[in-house]
């Protein structure tokens, strides 16, 4: 009996970098747009808004990269510690580990005899890999990658934060606040649609979720900024 190779493109393989990229771009658009709108509502001039935007981009990108790296690195450390512990257990008590793997397959619906056979063959092929995948839940497609997460997040934040900066540069000073807000809303809608498309989920739901929360954040920042008037300080 011959088996043909049939590979299906699953979105879960993109989860590591996609989560960091969407979070970074979303944060870049919302935080910097909100920052600019708050400053604009306080009466700041266009040059001040541009400097604020650039400072927000640099600070935010480095902060996102550092935060993502530390967070995902902690996850990676936990995964490595679990794998190291599991490797010791496999050497110390292989029979108990085989029984444990067998019970896992039984609870998933296999008959006891078949579960034992599957566990035995997988143990002979790659014992640690089988336990990592089926006992601990660590898979190569979803394993932590701190460097990838940090770079994806920083790059995405920079791209998102660059949009309000371009809006300031291209807009007349009288309409900066409106232009920045419109750019932010449109950017969030496109980001949500793009993330929904890449993740194979509802494009409309993803777009609305990101856009609505972004609008609330921008409106709140604008309201807080309006409580201050830098021209009178």
Has residue 136 been placed in a domain? Answer: yes
Q: Is 139 within a domain?
A: yes
The domain in which residue 38 lies consists of 15-224
Residue 229 lies in a domain: no
Residue 146 above 90 pLDDT?
Answer: no
Q: Flag whether 187 is in a domain.
A: yes
Return the pLDDT at 57.
92
Q: Is residue 36 part of a domain?
A: yes
pLDDT in tens, 183-201: 989 998 988 888 788 777 8
Task: Give me the pLDDT at residue 176, please.
Answer: 86
Residue with tokens 């397959």: 105
Report the domain count for the chain: 1
DSSP string, 11-45: GGGGHHHHHHHHHHHHHHHHHHHHHHHHHHHTT--
Domain-located, residue 120:
yes
Residue 133 near residue 139 (C-beta atoms within 8 A): yes
Residue 233 covered by a domain: no
Whether the pLDDT of residue 6 is over 70: the answer is no
Average pLDDT, the chain: 83
The DSSP secondary structure of 162-227, one letter per residue, reads HHHHHHHHHS-GGGHHHHHHHHHHHHHHHHHHHHHHHTTS-HHHHHHHHHHHHHHHHHHHHHHHHT
Does 191 reside within a domain? yes
| Per-residue model confidence as pLDDT tens digits over 31-40 | 888 888 888 8
| pLDDT score for 11 | 46
């Amino acid at each position: 009996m011959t088996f043909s190779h049939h590979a299906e493109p699953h979105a879960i393989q993109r989860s590591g970098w996609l989560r960091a990229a969407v979070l970074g771009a979303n944060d870049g658009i919302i935080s910097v747009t909100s920052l600019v709108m708050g400053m604009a509502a306080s009466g700041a001039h266009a040059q001040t808004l541009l400097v604020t935007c650039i400072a927000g981009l640099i600070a935010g990108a480095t902060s996102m990269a550092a935060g993502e790296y530390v967070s995902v690195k902690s996850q990676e450390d936990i995964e490595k510690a679990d794998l190291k512990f599991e490797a010791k257990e496999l050497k110390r008590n292989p029979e108990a580990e085989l029984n444990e793997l067998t019970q896992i397959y039984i609870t998933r619906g296999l008959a006891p005899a078949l579960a034992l056979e599957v566990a035995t063959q997988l143990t002979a092929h790659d014992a640690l890999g089988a336990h990592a995948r089926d006992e601990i839940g660590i898979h190569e497609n979803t394993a932590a990658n701190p460097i990838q997460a940090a770079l994806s997040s920083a790059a995405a934040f920079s791209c998102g934060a660059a949009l309000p900066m371009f809006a300031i540069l291209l807009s007349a000073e009288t309409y900066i606040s409106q232009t920045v807000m419109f750019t932010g809303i449109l950017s969030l809608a496109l980001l949500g649609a793009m993330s929904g498309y890449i993740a194979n989920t509802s494009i409309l739901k993803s777009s609305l979720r990101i856009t609505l929360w972004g609008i609330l954040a921008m409106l709140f920042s604008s309201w807080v900024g309006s409580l201050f008037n830098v021209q009178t300080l």
